[in-house]
Structure 1
Amino acid sequence: MIFQSFGAAVGQMGDPRFRRVLVLGVLLAFALLAVIYALFLLMIATLTPDLVELPFLGPISGLHQLLGWASLFFMLALSVFLMIPAAAAFAGLFTDDVAQAVEEVHYPFLPPARSLGWAEGLRASINLIGLLVLVNLAALMSVLVIGPFAPVLFWAANGWLLGREYFMLVALRRLPADEAKALRSRNGFTVWMAGALMAAPLSVPLVNLLIPVLGTATFTHIFHKLMAEGR
């Protein structure tokens, strides 16, 4: 079921609606990082004096330019960590479009689904980005403890998070919240394994940007297969 759903999602990646969500998520994420960097540079320019007196070296000028260049490299490194949750969060605002595109192509017999709306989509996106940041920070720190097994923890933890969040985003379009949670609980292992499949490309640059769209499409198929099987 999982690989069949994943294959169907990959096969639809050329859908213009998929590309629209992907491009919007990436552009908004880049815009957010640019704003953060601009604010960071403004803070450096405001708080750093033009001239600093250092022992044995005397007056040193141009410190804020040096810090500005250093901050550029820092921001590039930080963007590697922030880009994925930021793109995922922004794309999460449009996942309803992805799920609808999947249903129109593969499940045209279904009645119209309930639209999650901007408020619910924003709340889900904030939850997802917060959980991803916290879990990935914990996974990074775990490298000091479990060493080479850290990637396994990374995939397992992110698999649980991605599976949980994306399944609920899809299921809530068709079911009340309590029924959606019950369906997820009954099929916890399937949801987790599908989430782990989504988590694996998170460590592959550029490919990881596809996860919001690919995850939503995959879990849309999984949800409808589970419903059809009465599980």
Structure 2
Amino acid sequence: MSFSVRRLLNPTEEELDKTADALARAFNYSYFFSALGGKRELVAPFLRAHVNATLLGGEVYVVEVPADGIVGGALWFGPGQKFLSTAEQHAAGWDDIMSKIDTVYRAWWDNFLQEYDALCENCFGSGVKLSSYHLQVFGVVPDYQHRGFGRALITAIEDKAKLKGESLCLETMGTLNISIYQSMGFVVAGSGPAGKSPKNTDMVFTCLIKHAKTDVNSSA
């Protein structure tokens, strides 16, 4: 099947909405659903806030097909950049979402983000995540999964990182997802809980990394 991958540069509002919608569909509109107070209608806007923040501090890549346009996306933060690290990123949709959920969930997010950062530092090593290309959110709509689209979204940034010898890293949940990333060459750096979910269950994440090396056979 014909498809293409590109970085969104100076995107239209329609492209941004379609990217967020594709990610929401990839997660069956359940992405951090319980931490949004069970408000399913906030899932797509929540992911749009992620897209907006990435445009400010990272790189947004999409996969497209002729018939349906954007059907997947990957939100990357390069070395020295981090999700929600600036007031501008917070103001690009995150703060608005937080204003629409109850105080108990806003407090949960404040705690979770701190626990999550601590887990990543412990698993990857001090400063490793910040010095790598980090995959914040990644997904392909169900009808187009298992066709190599996701791998292409990873390869797009991997080729760029390889030129500088920079690593790729990410966090995920579940044995299936872990095996998928391992098939792409990622290795487990560690795992552990990032606090409790709003339903009081452990949120166990696995941290994976791929050390991209420069191509010694390439010529300048």
TM-score normalised by length of structure 2 = 0.32
TM-score normalised by length of structure 1 = 0.31
- Whose RCO is larger (CA < 8 A, sep 6+)? 1
More strand by share: 2
